[in-house]
Structure 1
């Protein structure tokens, strides 16, 4: 039955596409005013200067959330200027009750919808496929990044050399945002107008988002409707070169219980280089980059995870035009740990790297080569688990290209990794396509094939062997209408598929997922209720045995303070731990609540899973509870406090605790000024397992503690001085306790 569905569902999806159609929305235009030669833009956050007053005022804004399509209840205006080096957006946010404006000092990229802010989405290509975005709150704090229409994903990881100034006014606030042309990718002979979109966040008893276009929530992405920016004649950058040296001095102390401590001093120097021969091309290079002071990754529960978990990219060299790296495999419906065709965190510690990127009217491409000194793990995926082996040194290359044809994008990518010492290689290549309609449909497909001669040995190392081939196929469809949101996803990954420069924690399976959401507008403070049902079946590709089965009816309720309450029931979950083992059946209830309760309490997520869970190590069903509490507090205007608690508890047959897996993080940031801040991160991960049955794995205890203290002074996004210290320890049953301490100072700047 399942195999028949796998064969027939694409035809059913195409038939459904052919029967659905709705009209598109119209749009209006806005003009940019050129700053005369010899004049300069007054950059103080206000719009009082005659230059600003001479610019055309654009004031058409619509509500996007919680109810789309209505005229915005408060006024917002935008004016646009440009000179030889940059484009300027002047935004006026009127407010009948300015005393309620939420404008805290926060870290860069932490301007969220629980704060007032204005944002610019700017697409200099004019194709509506990608955009640079800049958010700024009334205190002048910036959040920036890139947005991709194909994946409907906003990536806050890139930091651009953009500026913003704000001014508090008696009837609201104003903001001026400067975006240099050197930060944008466009062509000298563009055939389309630049496009932009302004967003305004207005959090009160109800959380509102306003847009400068009448975009509906049924749109498949935020760039489906934008405003043309007429009369802008950008001066394309030519031979623009910047060198960004970085110097790090550190003192280390490493110790193993029972042995003398080892102390050392290190002075590390490296640099990043960025060269723009013209507006369309950019070349990035890095040599001896130092990634050691990157903010600690959020701890994850791993002791009862069946497959590998991934981490967010935070390293600047990999973030140039990061949206180009995205492909359909990124948006796996299982969430953030779904497969990725390109996963730059797989390049652990590059000794050097060289990358070239190009964008023009209809195409975009990037290609990179690097030497990776390794030191992490290589994922060896299987149908029921993810094995790992030590990652040796390797030469790495990848490329990604995309071509746009109206609502169709056609792309392809390749990855190649050759391991040092003749240990073999891994290569992946394949095309992808995304099609979107004005009626709210999106269809994506990707086909990848791999060849691998670097095979995992029983000794936990790679060894060269006869090359093994594999493939990955992903096809999905989603349709958004005012009342219904159906979707279908099919993915098939063969037994020997591997992508050592991507992220694939599972292979040898095929999976079909169907979901249907009904959207019901309520019209009050509780604005919407969405009942839904999701069905998912995953089976092995060799014998068709079930890996996982899910039937999940649920409902999500949206209300005041950006609150969402999601209740989901799993009446017949099924999961298998290993080939030939028992298929476990069990029930669960999931409750997930998210809200922005108040200005002093801007975010809360509380999630719990009640019911049975599979104890992976013991291959049995155990009663259990999963708990997640993630919060943000602003007791003082300059102090951020972010506690996070995550825990899984499984019970044994006698009712006692068989497994307790806990991850805790406390992050605090004290802002002295907009440029000076002190950050403290405390983390603890613990796993305690007790033997309940004689067949259980041996009792064990693991504890990992980390403390990071960092003071930072920022002149700009690229000129920063750090002073800090870190300390960590690991305690593991059967192993010696290890402790590491480090004091460091780091300076990075731009020439």
Structure 2
């Protein structure tokens, strides 16, 4: 066997290629094939959560084989009988405390995009695409195999990652260099040990994966996923039938094509319940298979939580007011030529008001850690007579093992009603980790007032000049008798201006967190928000001079004990003109059995000074109470059966309102005019049953009901509002969906 730190590429090719070429690994979790004796072995696991880099509580060993079918991975986890085992069954990508392992791979070993494959002791799985170093996106569901085998003193996992699972460059060579990472999490104590010693809490992660050279094979697949849904509207008394198909053709990792006709909108997935009074829209993820497949290549993020390609725009509310736009079809292509990768997306919505979307992407790796890319988007909105184009040039430079530099230049051009508006923006970010204790981040951003990539992207604001500096120090507690494992201190300073030179509210945030050997954690945070201009709140009717504010936050999370984990948090913050709000929150997760788990979230919010925009320069200032509760129940009565209950309730009550007007000087002035009380009461319930005929063929039975009531009236108590919410019935639908893979 080769030791974990002795990867010699030439020796690996000589020793591994002949036996690997005929390797036949049965994915059953048992590791009883003789080929595993020829695998690369990784044993130097260190504790990275918390980031102490000490020896882990229990030994873990990872093995890797390159075979014609794909990359085979085995992880052996020592687990003595006296150590608790936490193994709840969960839905795919559902985050719950559990014993689990992760295998992460960057197929091009360039630190740009990686893929995470996680297996829980229960046999449940999670998979993610990792972009922008630390951005995990669980919307992607990869096509891979796994198995778990449990014994008295250990448990083992086998995975097979097909060569076709992701696009990659240089697929014609006999070997390829990949970057890999393995970790193991103890569910009862939340201790994470990993090889190599990379951490996604340190600003850079994908760039720190361990590079190895392995034999490479070509594989081709053609998967066709037809689907059909029957929807019965129990309010209107009518029904609707829809059918469509997703096609994935992957002749090699160097060329992959996806297409869809009348794409599957994932009606079985319920978004979180949100009541938004802010000037910035709410961001939602996308679970539609076509739009998540190979999407990491197009995932360019910006500071201020921006995203240049936001696929929820495609098929969203129509420009003509339709609640959702039908999509005739869409096409996506990913490929590579040498060191250059390319990608295309095209989508066409139905009907005369239907929009058209196009995306093109190029990226070239130049070596020495330097990569340059270009992304262009085009959106045609005929109902509005609007056309938008966006161009972006991006750079990523892994200057050293300690320094990572990223940057981007963005240009936008929007034509509407004979007028053309051009905008530009740029940002640069440096992550520097001089040693295992310290890490620093410096970021500078400038967006001019006309920059606009919202037609196909997600942009919180234009007109922004921001400088941000963050530093973090980690202290490892060496005393063996201490209850603490580590403490972490973090300071984050932001200075912000708009494009006209007005100072926006800046922020200084100080954070302290403690991790305990028991698995508990404690976090404190204090924020100082300086006075400045809020130029978004009035929706273009003038800036408001917002006063300075303070924020205090605390959170305590317990380990899992007797099947129960609690998280208690509270936030005290200023809002409005001078008042305080208090937002306590309780989250309880109860593992009734391995096959049944329940999660409850609840908490009221009290505010004495809630300020919201009403119209033009008119604002309302209220006393507010928010009541929130969410229940998620997951039951797995059999290997192929899943039952989920998801219920959410959100009520906002506003009283003692007073009308304020925004003056030309940026100050709000009371008018002594009372405003009527109002209530927003919203409820959503979904019962979902899923039956799997096979890994990629499934039947869903879904009942969804809910509604929202927004009225001016005297507020009532929380119990009365909850009782009222149960009777809300704006929507009441029953859905049957079948999806199958050929």
TM score, norm. by length of structure 1: 0.83
Query: Is 1:78 aligned with 2:52?
Result: no
Mapped partners of 1:314, 1:41: distance in 2 = 32
Matches within 5 A, 1:31-46: 40-46=24-30
Q: Please name the residue that 1:129 is paired with.
A: 112
Query: Is 1:290 aligned with 2:264?
Result: yes
**Deviations, residues 713-741 of structure 1 (Å, cap 9, x unaligned):** 12455321101211122212169976221
Q: Please name the residue that 2:141 is paired with.
A: 159
Tell me if the contact between 2:134 and 2:200 (Cα under 8 Å) persists in the aligned partners. no
SS in 1 for 2:600: strand
Residue ranges of structure 2 left out of the alignment (5+ in a row): 317-324, 611-620, 659-671, 714-726
SS in 2 for 1:318: helix
| C-alpha distance 479-291 of structure 1, shift in aligned 2 (>3 A) | same
Matches within 5 A, 1:145-294: 145-148=128-131, 150-186=132-168, 187-190=170-173, 192-204=176-188, 206-215=189-198, 220-234=203-217, 236-238=218-220, 240-254=221-235, 262-294=236-268
463, 481, 490: which one aligns with 1:532: 490
Matches within 5 A, 1:422-571: 423-454=385-416, 464-481=417-434, 482-499=436-453, 500-523=455-478, 524-542=482-500, 544-571=501-528
**Deviations, residues 544-584 of structure 1 (Å, cap 9, x unaligned):** 22332222333222323444432222345435345343332
SS in 2 for 1:345: helix
Tell me if the contact between 2:526 and 2:551 (Cα under 8 Å) persists in the aligned partners. yes
Mapped partners of 2:700, 2:19: distance in 1 = 38
Mapped partners of 1:218, 1:676: distance in 2 = 36
351, 355, 365: which one aligns with 1:404: 365
SS in 2 for 1:541: coil
Query: Is 1:110 aligned with 2:110?
Result: no
Q: Please name the residue that 1:692 is paired with.
A: 657
Mapped partners of 1:540, 1:566: distance in 2 = 32
Matches within 5 A, 1:624-635: 624-635=581-592
Q: Please name the residue that 2:740 is paired with.
A: 749
Query: Is 1:640 aligned with 2:597?
Result: yes
Q: Please name the residue that 2:375 is paired with.
A: 413
- CA drift of 1:244 comes to 0.5
Query: Is 1:610 aligned with 2:567?
Result: no
Mapped partners of 1:430, 1:97: distance in 2 = 55
| C-alpha distance 652-159 of structure 1, shift in aligned 2 (>3 A) | closer
Tell me if the contact between 1:709 and 1:725 (Cα under 8 Å) persists in the aligned partners. yes
- CA drift of 1:310 comes to 0.7
Q: Please name the residue that 1:340 is paired with.
A: 307
Q: Mean alpha-carbon deviation: is it higher for 219-228 or for 392-401?
A: 219-228
Q: Please name the residue that 2:710 is paired with.
A: 732
Give the count of matched residue pairs: 674
691, 695, 702: which one aligns with 1:713: 691
Tell me if the contact between 2:22 and 2:67 (Cα under 8 Å) persists in the aligned partners. no
Q: Please name the residue that 2:123 is paired with.
A: 140
Mapped partners of 1:361, 1:594: distance in 2 = 49
State the superposition RMSD in angstroms.
3.0
| C-alpha distance 583-265 of structure 1, shift in aligned 2 (>3 A) | closer
Q: Mean alpha-carbon deviation: is it higher for 46-55 or for 410-419?
A: 46-55
Higher relative contact order (CA 8 A, sep 6+): 1
Matches within 5 A, 1:264-413: 264-303=238-277, 305-329=278-302, 332=303, 338-347=305-314, 348=316, 349=325, 350-359=327-336, 362-372=339-349, 393-405=354-366, 406-413=368-375
Mapped partners of 1:413, 1:684: distance in 2 = 40
- CA drift of 1:111 comes to 5.5
| C-alpha distance 292-696 of structure 1, shift in aligned 2 (>3 A) | farther
- CA drift of 1:529 comes to 2.2
TM score, norm. by length of structure 2: 0.84
Mapped partners of 1:135, 1:466: distance in 2 = 50
Mapped partners of 1:157, 1:88: distance in 2 = 24
**Deviations, residues 162-219 of structure 1 (Å, cap 9, x unaligned):** 1111111121111111222222333432463334322111234x43222233447896
SS in 2 for 1:495: coil
Mapped partners of 2:47, 2:640: distance in 1 = 34
Query: Is 1:87 aligned with 2:51?
Result: no
SS in 2 for 1:485: strand
Mapped partners of 1:77, 1:361: distance in 2 = 35
Mapped partners of 2:338, 2:585: distance in 1 = 45
| C-alpha distance 433-594 of structure 1, shift in aligned 2 (>3 A) | farther
- CA drift of 1:652 comes to 4.8
- CA drift of 1:159 comes to 0.8
Mapped partners of 1:737, 1:231: distance in 2 = 59
| C-alpha distance 605-676 of structure 1, shift in aligned 2 (>3 A) | same
